[in-house]
Structure 1
Amino acid sequence: MVSASTPRGIAIQRIQKDSIRDRIERITEDLKEIKKFYPIKVSSTRTQRLHQFLTAELHSLRDQPFHLYDQQEKVDYLLVKNYLERQLRELQLDSIQDQKATPLLPFAKAIIGLCENRAIGSPIEPQSAAQELFESQGQINELVRRINSDSTQFNVGRNSAFRAASTIDSLRDHLGEWFGFYKGYDPTFDWWVSHPYGVVDASLETVASTIREKLVGIDHKNEDAIVGQPIGRDGLLAELLAEMIPYTPEELISIGENEFVWCINEMEKASKDMGYDDWHQALEHVKNDYVEPGRQTQLVRDLAEEATSFVEEHKLVTVPPLAKETWRMFMMSPERQKVNPFFLGGKSIIVSYPVSTMNHEDKLMSMRGNNIHFSRATVFHEMIPGHHLQIFMNARHRPYRRLFDTPFWIEGWSLYWEFILWDDDRFKKTPQNRIGMLFWRLHRCARIIFSIKFHLGQMSPQECIDLLVDQVGHERATAEGEVRRSLNGDYSPLYQAGYMLGALQIYALRKEMVDSGRMAEMDFHDQFLKGNRMPIELVRALMQHQALTPDFQTSWKFYSS
């Protein structure tokens, strides 16, 4: 047996230390390659290939000598293990959701086959391809006929129908790429395929539109309707397991409701300081305190400099000079404001403010929704010490961990700073400023409630919008944008809940580490950022040097009301 203290033993240990990061970087690139080569998400071939890859990697990882790793490497092991297990669960859940939409996709297999044969380099037989398209056209025509004659005969729910329509859009794009690859290079291909392809392409657009209109309830008169795809309680539990959150969906709703009550109490205090008995009236006052057209960019720059100067002056977190120097600003288009009615940030800040082409009502709602006091909280959330600093550090410290992206770390960090600056009396706050900060905090509580209830099937998109308007104080247009962004599928199911819950986790960890005197405040923040992305419970394990095992299970109850 080779002792770990011998030169050979040390060499073996060094090999293992190097291999875990290499493994993560390789898995990152391998998955990119597989997903690029098999891009059709509803393809059984893609699902099988991903399952094969993930399973093999998981088995290989379990064979590694966990005890030889240092603490950072043990965390890397747990991160990649959790990631692989999560990907496998998502494959299974996606397959279940796709199966529900199958009655509306009788032609999908043929289209997928044509596209995948092209990818693997199988010789094209134009006459055979034309025949497959011709037969697919017949299936599409029959499906449209059946939907128009009696849509109730399809045993699919509204959400599955919406998924089917989105899948058809994707298949149409893939088929277009397939046709473009051969067109013009093979005269027989053009002769046989051009006409049936053109018919099928138009028909795919028609059937997707028909499904949306007849089975989902979206037509050309209601193009901005919000549908979303609830994942159900089992889906939420799988997501919570991956995020290392040892709470049930119902317990998280309760946390959101508790924090909501706290925000309302603080709203009432700030409102009284403004001379209002009703916090809704105080909020209206704050909303109407906006800058004139053309001055929003200067406001943003002034607020960004204020926040940066504050954290530097009080030594709260290290701000590299280049991070402070190189952030940029852009304006958000009117189309994008339908989905993102407020600022966005990260490497740059994207300012949401009305443009001359908007109608009068939309202009006023945008100006009120991006008023001075809402913007003050938004800018330090998005820039420094929030997302801009965060992303700057991510690129320079353990960047391979960006694979383990989580809203609890990403969004939790920025909202956590709203907590810290709320608590810090050195950060000057007028009652109007406090109302602005509380609006966002209240909004994040509502996000927990409506996003989880939506995925549990307990709230409709319209009810989510009404919650934001009636109980948080949103403008109707900004509420619609927030709900559309939350539910349209571009974000993970727990993304919206991750803001407040992640902030509460970091805040609880701060109490354990900083308030107890175990770490200085700047060290706490710097170490958090340099650790890069991961579930907060593993940040805690690193900071507290916890003993770890390969079968680590989440257990940290971070919340006390």
Structure 2
Amino acid sequence: MSRYRLPLAAIILLIATISPSVTGIKSVGAQSPPPYSIKNEDADPAKLAAADSRLRPVIDRYMADLTTLQRYYVVESSPVRRAKLQGFYGEWQKILAGMNFDSLRQDEQIDYILFRNYIEHEVRELDLRGRALDEMAALIPFSKQIAEYEESRKRMEKIDPGKIAAQLNDLNKQIAALQKAVETGLLPEGKADPKLPAIRTKKPVANRAFVVTNNLRETLKRWFDYYNGYDPLFTWWNEQTYKAVDQSLQNYATFLREKVVGVKVTEDTAIIGDPIGRDGLLSELAYEMIPYNPEEILAVADKEFAWCEAEMKKASRELGFGDDWKKALEFVKNKYVEPGKQPELVRMLAEEALTFLDKNDLVTVPELARETWRMEMLSPRQQLVSPFFLGGEYIQVSYPTNTMSHEAKMMSMRGNNPHFSRATVHHELFPGHGLQAYMTRRYRSYRSLFGTPFWGEGWSLYWEFLLWDMKFPQTPEDRIGFLFWRSHRCARIIFSLSFHLEKMTPQQCIDLLVNRVGHEVDNATAEVRRSFAGNYGPLYQAAYMLGGLQFYSLHRELVDSGKMKNRDFHDAILMENRIPVEMVRAILTKQKLTKDYKTSWKFYKF
């Protein structure tokens, strides 16, 4: 059944006819916002429809089919799931190969390249995940059987309850023997009985197996619950055997986490991580269209770090601390606002940034975005992972509460002092993540599939570069605040890539942030925990500085050269959504593209 939709003009007319007794209500003591209106001609529905890409329905269909497959084949360790996805990606690669690239508009060619690049990355990732599963195969031999139970259930195949009971009984014995073999493998070489089977593994692999075991336990429960009670014969045969297997899986998972990894199951603040190695980093760099290898990127970080340290010493001298920038940093950290005053500070800094943007005609900030941004406070628990600010449509602010220890309170206040915050509020709100969130919901939103932190975080950091050049941070204290964060982004490259290359441990990453950047210990720990908890991609932390340098290079090429004005340049970027910066450059320079386009833009001069 089709859904009738009113045209925009009719909706506006309908709103206008609503009784004044309803629409005229004002909050007591509150300033009434201006009436809503669409001022930007780019919001004209006819123009939006004409500009839509012919690849959009293709991308939508791909996503619909992919998510359907993923909802059906939910066991990630299943070889059937892997084979299905391999076939799916292969079919879509054939579809793309058959398209007439030259008949597409340039924006559609960009979509084609992005789509092809995305699928190629998914194929590589599927292969890397397969290797990761193979690496822990000895720790999860029960995976295939549990996956087969669930897949058979979804195919609605008939079951033999008695046969299943025998299989579950054998599975229980297998898990017990498996745990014994891993226990033997924990003994030093020469101390274990050579006659006993032994399985040796690394902590990251064991932690991965811990996660998979818990997931498989949930899968087995879902399978059991489907039949239990609804099929009396199944329940008669399998109730006790299932409970035994479930308990064995729980015990085994706990054993992996506590005895092999060395972390209590209840301890969710431990930092473990799972290094992906050089091949994994190269795959991610290819997807992000970064034409440098990990070693070259580490060299970029070293060079930028050296610049930061030199500038930090200059600011330190202005404050009377000579070259001892750490003393200058301590001085700045201790200029925090008193409890209860942080929201007022954040609001002032947000208004200051907007005024600067408007005065210098840097970027368009729509009235609706200005009206609807807001603020929330991060809980003490959230601050264990995010000790600073988070942004988007609303800014999430870190500051201590009465429930924190004295040490935690002081670290939070010192780490979020006004001079550090002057560099973070505009990063998180306008022109940073707040403006991004507003624009990407309205322009080429289908490109969210290709979202990249090199655009998202790179854009926000780029503004720190530009505002620095425009003398936005005027005092030495403010410059130290800006330099602290720029140094932080250099350190992020060093510790994240070095960790994935297995050259640094989590503790060494923390020490780097404390000793070379000047972080509070708790804040540094939270930063490293956040980086390796699995919620962010392996290049996410490197994307801030690298993406910022990409936009900075593009600004020199197009704005400093006089080819574009600042506002036009920045507005154009925001209207292309979250795509690799090299593709933004191709759009703005009207670069001629080919079907087999490969990354080539060397944006950094060593």
Range of TM-score over shorter length: over 0.9
What residue number does 1:32 align with?
67
The range that moved more, 288-297 or 172-181, is 172-181
Structure 1 gap ranges (5+) = 1-13
Residue identity matched to 1:46: R
Superposed counterparts of 1:68-467, under 5 Å: 68-151=103-186, 153-219=198-264, 224-277=269-322, 278-425=324-471, 427-467=472-512
Higher Cα radius of gyration? 2
Which one of 95, 103, 111 corresponds to residue 60 of structure 1? 95
Distance 2:231 2:338 in 1: 60
* Amino acid of the structure 1 residue aligned with 2:80: T
Matched-pair identity in %:
51
TM-score between the two structures when normalised by the length of structure 1 = 0.94
Structure 1 Cα separation of the partners of residues 503 and 596 of structure 2: 34
Matched-pair contact (CA < 8 Å) for 2:257–2:265: no
1:280 is aligned with what amino acid? Answer: K
| 8 Å contact from structure 1 (residues 114, 129) kept in 2 | no
Count matched residues. 547
TM superposition shift of 1:230: 0.9
CA deviation after TM superposition for structure 1 residue 245, in Å = 0.7
The DSSP-based 3-state class of the residue aligned with 1:334 is coil
| Separation (CA, whole Å) in 1 of partners of 2:266 and 2:87 | 45
Match of 2:16 in 1: none
Greater mean alpha carbon deviation, residues 482-491 or residues 96-105: 482-491
* Higher mean C-alpha displacement, 57-66 vs 203-212: 203-212
Deviations 1:483-519 (A, max 9, x none): 1111122111111100000000000001001001111
Query: 1:388-410: per-residue Cα shift (whole Å, max 9, x none)?
Result: 11011111000000000111111
- Please point out which of 488, 506, 512 is paired with 2:557: 512
Work out the CA distance in 2 between the residues paired with 1:280 and 1:533.
37
Tell whether the 8 Å contact from 1:365 to 1:477 is kept in structure 2 after alignment: yes
Counterpart amino acid of 2:442? R
Q: Which runs of 4+ in 1 moved over 4 A?
A: 220-223
**Residues 435-458 of structure 1, C-alpha deviations (whole Å, 9 max, x = no match):** 111111100000111111111111
Q: Return closer, same or farther for 1:128/1:291 CA change in 2, 3 Å cut-off.
A: farther
Q: 1:178 to 1:241 in 2, by over 3 A?
A: same
Aligned position for 1:6: none
Higher helix share: 1
Q: Deviations over 1:75-103 (max 9, x none)?
A: 00000000000000000011001100011
Three-state SS of the structure 2 residue aligned to 1:75 is helix
| Aligned-pair Cα RMSD in Å | 2.0
Cα offset for 1:144?
1.8
Task: In structure 2, give the amino acid aligned to 1:135.
Answer: D
Structure 2 residue corresponding to 1:545, chosen from 559, 573, 590: 590
Distance in 2, matches of 1:537 and 1:64, equals 23
The CA distance in 2 between the partners of 1:37 and 1:284, in whole Å, is: 55
Unpaired runs of 5+ in structure 2?
A: 1-48, 188-197
Tell me, in whole angstroms, the C-alpha distance in 1 between the residues paired with 2:226 and 2:437. 38
Moved more, 109-118 or 405-414: 109-118
- Structure 2: how far apart are the matches of 1:441 and 1:260? 8
Measured after TM superposition, the shift of residue 428 of structure 1 is: 4.7
Taking the TM superposition and a 5 Å limit, the aligned residue runs for 1:448-487 are 448-487=493-532
Give me the whole-angstrom Cα distance separating, in 1, the residues matched to 2:336 and 2:564.
Answer: 40
- The one-letter code matched in structure 1 to 2:344 is Q
How far does residue 30 in structure 1 lie from its aligned partner after superposition? 1.9
Q: How far is the alpha carbon of 1:313 from its aligned partner?
A: 2.7
Matches of 1:182 and 1:300 in 2, distance apart? Answer: 55
